[in-house]
Structure 1
Amino acid sequence: MEFDAVVRRRRMVRNYDPDRPVPAEVTDRLLEYAIRAPSAGFSQGWGFLVLEDAADRERFWAATTPAPATPGEPENSWLSGMRRAPLIVVPHSNREIYLDRYAAPDKGWTDRDEARWPVPYWHIDAGMASLLMLLGAVDAGLAACFFGIPPETMATFRESFDVPPEYTPIGAITVGYPAPDRRSPSLRRGRRGVTDVVHRGRWGAS
């Protein structure tokens, strides 16, 4: 598929065909794409938890789904569709790898002071790796969705999958073959155009 078509077709899909697993070679290809992402100082401070077995995926949803506000409340359609995904990848970032890398002789920040970083590049780089997986899924004829793990479930998630303390999940990605899916109500807002977001020369100029 041409790159322009991949970019234009990419969207967050929230319902999957549960009877069509993601081929192993496609999963491997998506992970190969992920590690081609740029990273500050070539730190590559990421880690990817891959959940393919049904038991592991069920454990993920059990760990990360908040308890319903009302006991006995039915599962919402978003969760029902997402749970059908045959593949979940959880990208993690590792701040310590970046602080260590920039304390190396060729960088020279020997104090490892996090305040030197204007933004947390460890999260940004893991996000870039995630986007490459999202685009790779489209190129392979699959669908995917990036979503956040609720903060109140983070400790349970970590415990359920033995996540080392130095790794922080930045979200999760479901992957699979798409099933009929309703368009997100958020899309009614419309896509902001280039002239709405681009400022040439100074802010406010277009």
Structure 2
Amino acid sequence: MLVPMEFREVVRRRRMVRRFGPDPVPPEVVDRMLGHAVRAPSAGFTQGWSFLVLDTPADRERFWAATTPASSPRDMSAWLDGMRTAPVLIVVLASKAAYLGRYAEPDKGWTDAEESRWPVPYWHVDAGMASLLLLQTAVDEGLGACFFGIGRGERPAFAAEFGVPPAWEPTGVVAVGHPAPGGPAGSPSRRPRKALDEVVHRGSW
């Protein structure tokens, strides 16, 4: 039986894994990941997120066929070769309409669903928080995961392939599986992590 890690160890070990082994991810583990994801905070408790789970070879192949660009300014072949080994893909989607509608309800005090009231798109902020909980739970389960996006040009094909309603937009995708050696190196291999005193400002900038 897997022994859960201390939270600080989960945070320390989290990294983007870009190649996965052949072992499957048990459905109950995926369910635990999703159960944690929906505990993320959301503005107005809107919970305007949805999760599309692709855990069969056919569905994953449909995903890659719909979302792989026909051309790219940089060579993505090594990245794709690694990421296509993930046995589970979880597409995290957000609904802007859900948030605009929620804040037009009486307890929020706005009388319309005007998007310009929002200083930042909290529908994607909240979906990003849910995505981080997916990533952290994967580590806690002894798995690896990677968050990546779907290109703007490929989004219509993705939505058509999987029947995604127009109100829902993908924030990103979490690939999950057992880490395997040999995946493409990520940006942390080329850039150092910034020190706290470079990014933390106390009292004023």
TM-score normalised to the size of structure 1?
Answer: 0.93
**Aligned match of 1:20:** 23
Residues 2/160 of structure 1: CA separation in 2 closer, same or farther (3 Å cut): same
**Aligned match of 1:155:** 156
**Aligned match of 1:51:** 54
Helix, strand or coil for the counterpart of 1:89? strand
1:103 maps to amino acid: A
Cα deviation 1:156-193 (Å, max 9, x = unaligned) = 00100000000010111100001103532443210001
2-structure distance, mates of 1:69, 1:145? 20
**Aligned match of 2:166:** 165
Aligned length: 199
**Aligned match of 1:128:** 129
Give the RMSD, CA atoms, in angstroms: 1.5
Of residues 39, 43, 63, the one that matches 2:42 is: 39
Cα deviation 1:58-79 (Å, max 9, x = unaligned) = 0000000011469xxx971110
1-structure distance, mates of 2:169, 2:116? 19
Large movers: runs of 4+ above 6 Å: none
TM-score normalised to the size of structure 2?
Answer: 0.93
For residue 95 of structure 1, report the CA deviation from its aligned partner: 0.8
1-structure distance, mates of 2:9, 2:72? 41
Helix, strand or coil for the counterpart of 1:106? helix
Listed as ranges, the gaps of 5+ residues in structure 1 are none
1:11 corresponds to 2:12:
no
Contact 2:52 2:92 in 1 (8 A): yes
**Aligned match of 2:177:** 176
2:24 maps to amino acid: P
Helix, strand or coil for the counterpart of 2:190? helix
2-structure distance, mates of 1:51, 1:167? 17
Q: Percent identity?
A: 59
After TM superposition, list the pairs within 5 Å mapping 1:86-165 onto structure 2.
Answer: 86-165=87-166
**Aligned match of 2:189:** 187
Listed as ranges, the gaps of 5+ residues in structure 2 are none
